[in-house]
Amino acid sequence: MRTAPEDEELLLDLVLADSRSGLFEEAIARSQEAVAAHPEWPRLATVLVQRNRYEETLAILKKARDAHPEDLGLALLDLRVLALRGDTTTAAPLGQQLLSRHPNEFDLLYLNGLIERQQNSYEAAAKHLQTAVVLNPDHYDSRYNLGFSLLKLGHPEEARNQLERAIILDPSAPEAHFQLAAALRALKQPEVARQELAAYQKSMQVRAMRDRDISLAADAAQKLSTGNTAAAISLYAEVTADASTNPEAFYNLAMALDRSGDRRGERICLERALKLRPAYAVAMNQLGYVASRENDNTSAEAWFRKAIAIAPLFAEAESNLGTLLAGSGRDSEAEVHFRAALAGNPRYTDAWINLAAVLAAQSNFPEARAAAECAAH
């Protein structure tokens, strides 16, 4: 994606990928640069929301909304950020105005209900949220906020139904367990309420551990990006010590170990990642790369082919397989995979260079020259 043509969707994917990898500052810088060049791409600012930088997000959205006042998507994003910030004074009139123009829009019904719940206007909130759950029965937040509002209105049985449905939709969310415990106490079911409180406490512990791991992984990613490999390895190892069900944690540690030259440790971490996620194509590709560096071409080829089978048009795996085959003199097979890599990413310079090489090796000089020219551009 870093080498792809400028495109809003691709840039948004890249910004989100950076942020989910813990490269928050890089993601923010990239989004701000893109929005400065393309004010019509305000969704790129959503990474700022992930870091609770609401003022900057709202400033970007204001410019975009001034330029496109009738764009409902921008208005919804603006309203959502205001609700996240808890600015109900600004959000409430905007939400009501938008809902009057789009009375059957699910997002507006949900957001108005959320804002009204934040204002303790539980009757209005329940009305809007009840309509929202009819339109989208599988939306956790609508179910949770409706249950919360009904409980405050003194309807514990109805609240219980909504909160139980919310928990089915997202069993890991602690808030729904807490409110359900309150509803069950109101219904004179103390034993079941205690079970829900225990579930709430467990969910809170899991959330705290997840937040800690995200913070550690973010620090590790920053350390790795600045060349401090030893510190990155130490931080990633701390994450994996308690992350026995997190394949990304083991993959990230493997990539840090790769930088340090610890091939054995890298392989062990990649195998752990695959045990947790058997269809983890990037881990398969990396295992193939490790095997190729150890001259185990049979294993390397098998891993690359597995990765491609899981993720067709996986450009890096296709190119790696092509390089392996070309090194064994299987130029015609290598050509197929370099072309497949370029189908996945037409701006993959290394694949163009390697394609030019195998075409030249087959005495196909005109196409080899054309591929080399593509690599140069």
For residue 361, tell me if it sits in a domain. yes
CB atoms < 10 A from the CB of 171, how many?
11
Confidence of residue 155 (pLDDT cuts 50, 70, 90): very high
pLDDT 10s digits, 218-238: 888 889 888 999 999 999 998
Q: Are 150 and 126 in contact (CB under 8 A)?
A: yes
Question: What pTM was estimated for this model as a whole?
Answer: 0.69
What pLDDT is stored for residue 8 in this prediction? 67
For residue 8, tell me if it sits in a domain. no
What pLDDT is stored for residue 347 in this prediction? 84
For residue 286, tell me if it sits in a domain. yes
Q: Are 76 and 108 in contact (CB under 8 A)?
A: yes
* Alpha helix ranges (H) inside 187-276: 190-225, 229-241, 247-260, 263-276
pLDDT 10s digits, 246-280: 888 899 999 999 999 999 999 999 999 999 999 99
List phi, psi (to 5°) of 139.
-100, 110
- Total number of domains in the chain: 1
What's the CATH code of the domain at 313? 1.25.40.10
For residue 183, tell me if it sits in a domain. no
Q: Kindly state the average pLDDT of the residues 313-330.
A: 94
For residue 339, tell me if it sits in a domain. yes
d(CA 307, CA 143): 39
Q: Are 100 and 133 in contact (CB under 8 A)?
A: no
For residue 319, tell me if it sits in a domain. yes
Instruction: Give the structural domain span for 297.
Output: 279-376
pLDDT 10s digits, 185-197: 999 999 999 999 9
For residue 61, tell me if it sits in a domain. no
For residue 13, tell me if it sits in a domain. no
